[in-house]
Amino acid sequence: MRPPLPGAEAPPHPLRFGYGTNGLADLRLEDAICLLADLGYDGVGLTLDHMHLDPLAPDLAARTRRVAHRLDALGLEVTVETGARYVLDPRRKHGPSLLDADPGGRGRRVDLLLRAVRVAGDLGAHAVHCFSGTVPPGTGRDTAWQRLAASLTPVLDAAATAGVPLAVEPEPGHLLATLADFHHLRLLLGDPQPLGLTLDIGHCQCLEPLPPVDCVRAAAPWLRHVQIEDMRRGVHEHLPFGDGEIDFPPVLAALSATGYQGLTVVELPRHSHAGPHQAELSLPFLRRAAAASVPPGEPSATPEGSTP
C-alpha cells in the first residue's frame, strides 16, 4: 500500500538511527555489528562488499543466514546497500553500471542487485538501495534513461516477489541526480509499487533547489531509506556532523512527521579510517538534534528508551 500523498497528515514517528558499514570498512562485519549494538544504534546500513557479506563469494545464502541470526540476537534492523566501489570491477569505481554500453556489463550490475534483493529478503531488510551510475561517454541521455529503465525492470520484479522495496538514490554526478530525476524514472517505469526512494540528506544540501527540510516533505510518499551526514552547498563531500551547513533539528522533525519507519543511516564512507570514533560521536549528535526538534510536551522523535 502506498503511503499518504503529499499533504496528508501522518503521526510523528520515532526515528531509528543506523550506521553504514561502508564507513567501517576496516572492521570485520561481526565486529562492526557488535560495535553498533554496543553504541546503541537501532540498525545497520549493510553495504555488500568483499569484506562485508561478499555477494559474489560462495555460500551466500548460508552466510546471510548467519548474519540474520546475529542481527536478530543483537536487536538490530538492517537496510541493504549496493554502493561498494570495486565489488564488480577492481579497476573501475562503481563499474560496471546499469548504464554501460556493454549489455554484459549491465547484466553483471543487474545480477548484483538481484543478489542484494535475495539477501534483503533473507535478512528481513527494510529496503535495497541502489543508484543509476554516471552516463558513459558518447551515450545520449535518452539512451541512458532507456537502459536504466530496462535494467531495473527485472530487479523490481524480484523486489515485488521478495516483498522488499527498491530504494533508488539520487546521486550527484549520476544520470539520476535529483528528486526530479527520480520522478522521471518513476513515470518512465509506470510508477511500479516496489520502486521507492533513498534520500540522502547531505545530497539535498549539496544540489537540490529546495532546502533539505523541504526535500524530506516532498519525498515523503516515496521514502524507503534515508542516509544522513553533513554537507556544504555545491560540494559533494560527506562530512561529520557539525562540519557542514545543515540545520538538523528541523530536518529530523520533518522526517519524523512523515511517519517514516525505516532506518536513518549515517553515511561517512571516506571516514572509515576513523569509523569507530565517528560512529561513537554520530549517534549522540543525532539524538540531541532529534530531541531539539520536539516542542515541549510532545513525544520525542528518538526511539522509546533512548537517551538524548
In a domain, 61, yes or no: yes
* pLDDT score at 299: 53
What are the backbone dihedrals phi and psi of residue 86, each rounded to the nearest 5 degrees, phi first? -130, 25
**CB contact burial 98-113 (16+ within 10 A = b; e otherwise):** bbbeeeebbebbbebb
In sequence order, the 6+-apart residues with CB closer than 8 A to the CB of 52 are 21, 25, 29, 32, 46
CA distance 104 to 110: 10
Taking a C-beta distance cutoff of 8 angstroms, is the pair 6, 259 a contact?
no
| pLDDT over 90 at 8, yes or no | no
Q: Tens digit of pLDDT for each residue in 232-263?
A: 999 999 999 999 999 999 999 999 999 999 99
In a domain, 161, yes or no: yes
* pLDDT band, very low/low/confident/very high, at 196 (cuts 50, 70, 90): very high
In a domain, 9, yes or no: no
In a domain, 54, yes or no: yes
* pLDDT score at 13: 72
In a domain, 33, yes or no: yes
Report the mean per-residue pLDDT for the chain.
93
- The SS3 assignment for 133 reads coil
Domain count, the chain: 1
C-alpha distance across the termini of the chain, in Å: 33
In a domain, 116, yes or no: yes
* pLDDT band, very low/low/confident/very high, at 3 (cuts 50, 70, 90): very low
In a domain, 168, yes or no: yes
| pLDDT over 80 at 17, yes or no | yes
* pLDDT score at 280: 98
Of the chain, the percentage scoring pLDDT greater than 70 comes to: 91
* Neighbouring C-beta atoms of residue 124, cutoff 10 Å: 13
| Type of residue numbered 300 | S
Q: What is the CATH number of the domain that holds 60?
A: 3.20.20.150
Of the chain, the percentage scoring pLDDT greater than 90 comes to: 90
Q: Tens digit of pLDDT for each residue in 76-93?
A: 999 999 999 999 999 999
Domain with 239 in it: 16-292
* Neighbouring C-beta atoms of residue 234, cutoff 10 Å: 9
Q: Tens digit of pLDDT for each residue in 108-125?
A: 999 999 999 999 999 999
In a domain, 91, yes or no: yes
